[in-house]
Amino acid sequence: MTPIWRSRLLKYSLYAKFSNSSPQRLPKCNQGLRRSYNIAACMPEAAEFQGVGDYKGLYEFSINQSDTFWGTVGRQRLSWITPFHTVQNCDLIKGKIKWFEGGQLNVSVNCIDRHVRTCPERVALIWERDEPGTEITVTYRQLLELTCRLGNLFRRLGVRRGDCVTLYLPPCPLAVAAMLACARIGAVHSAVFAGFSAEALAERIRGARSRIVVTANQGLRGGRVLELKATVDQALLSCPSVQHVLVTMRTENPVTVTDRDLVLEQEMMKEDASCEPVAMDSEDVLFLLYTSGSTGKPKGLVHTQAGYLLYAALTHRCVFDYHDGDVFGCVADIGWITGHSYVVYGPLCNGGTTVLFESTPVYPDPGRYWETVERLRISQFYGAPTAIRLLLKYGDQWVKKYDRSSLKTLGSVGEPINTEAWDWYSRVVGEALPCCGHLVADRDRRGVHCPQASGPRCGDHPWLRHEAVLRCPACAHGRQGEDVDRY
pLDDT, residue 242, reads: 98
What whole-number distance in Å separates Cα of residue 362 and Cα of residue 210?
35
* Interval 71-107: pLDDT, tens: 999 999 999 999 999 999 998 888 889 999 999 999 9
Is it the case that residue 286 has pLDDT exceeding 60?
A: yes
The answer to whether 123 and 24 are in contact (CB under 8 A) is: yes
Q: In whole angstroms, what is the distance from residue 308 CA to residue 453 CA? A: 24
Q: Which residue has the higher pLDDT, 89 or 473?
A: 89
Question: What's the rounded mean pLDDT across residues 180-207?
Answer: 97
The per-residue pLDDT for 13 is: 44
DSSP 96-133: EEEEEET-EE-HHIIIIIHHHHH-TTSEEEEEE-SSTT
User: Quick one: DSSP state of residue 247?
Assistant: E
- What is Dmax (Cα atoms) for the chain? 70
Q: Is the pLDDT of residue 46 over 80?
A: yes
- DSSP class of residue 221? E
CA distance 98 to 105: 15
**β-strand pairing of 409-412 with 438-441:** parallel
Buried b (16+ CB within 10 A) or exposed e, 215-232: bbbbbbbeeeebebbebb
- Poorest-confidence range of 18-27, 66-75, 305-314, 351-360? 18-27
- The tens digit of pLDDT for each residue in 243-276 reads 999 999 999 998 888 899 999 999 999 999 999 9
User: Which amino acid makes up residue 387?
Assistant: A
* pLDDT (tens digit per residue) in 316-373: 999 999 999 999 999 999 999 999 999 999 999 999 999 999 999 999 999 999 999 9
Q: How much is the pTM?
A: 0.86
In contact, 26 and 380? CB cutoff 8 Å = no
Q: pLDDT by residue (tens digit) across 431-466? A: 845 333 445 555 433 332 333 445 556 666 554 333
CA distance linking residue 398 with residue 392, whole number of Å: 10
Q: Which of 28, 14, 3 minimizes the C-alpha distance to 378? A: 28
Q: By the 8 A CB rule, do 74 and 84 touch?
A: yes
Average pLDDT over residues 386-406: 96
Instruction: Give Cα 110 distance to the centre of its chain.
Output: 15
- Rounded to a whole number of angstroms, the CA Rg of the chain reads 22
Whether residue 390 is predicted with pLDDT greater than 50 in this model: the reply is yes
Q: Per-residue pLDDT averaged across 297-325, rounded?
A: 94
Task: Flag whether pLDDT at 23 surpasses 60.
Answer: no
The alpha-helical segments, DSSP class H, found in 336-396 are 337-339, 346-349, 368-376, 385-392
Q: Give the pLDDT confidence score for residue 95 in this predicted structure.
A: 86
Using the predicted structure, report yes or no on whether residue 234 has a pLDDT greater than 80.
yes
Instruction: Report how far residue 211's alpha carbon sits from residue 452's, in angstroms, rounded to the nearest whole number.
Output: 48
So what's the pLDDT on residue 461? 55
Whole-number average pLDDT of the chain: 85
